[in-house]
Amino acid sequence: MDKWDQRFMHLTEEVGGWASCIRRKVGAIIVRDKRVMTTGYNGAPAGISSCIDRGECLREINHIPSGTHAELCYAAHAEQNAIIQAAKYGVNINGATLYCTHQPCVICAKMIINSGISRVVYKEGYPDEFSMRLFAEAGTQVEKYEE
């Protein structure tokens, strides 16, 4: 990893601190030509109360294991929010790099692949091996960040 990867991963961790999830703080940034295009963190959609606001985690209440049933959560994932932000504001992310604090899940992997992001750099693992298979088949470069 080079100094730019280090800088962008540190920024990704900072963005993750903004998350409104009780269970896990995840941050993502999309970078093109050494410029931050968009940011995202895991949190409830606009107008929806977050788990922090509610004082409880729907997934914990229902004993949903990590890496399963991602749809049973008030929050959108950090990667999803970063891609959505690009679409909302007309930002071209084709060929970009997505930095994320955690390995993307399969739902995020599909969005990343279809958005044209060509490289993913993540720090922490996530129990979703299928996402890694999709990235490999699509030819998306995926790297685990090491300090």
Supply the pLDDT for residue 68. 85
Whether the CB-CB separation of 42 and 21 falls below 8 Å is answered with yes
Catalytic residue among 14, 71, 137, 146: 71
Please tell me whether residue 132 adopts helix, strand or coil conformation. Answer: helix
> Tens of pLDDT along 80-90?
999 999 999 99
Residue 71 appears among annotated catalytic residues: yes
Mean pLDDT of 85-97: 98
Q: Please, are residues 24 and 102 in contact by the beta-carbon 8 Å criterion?
A: yes
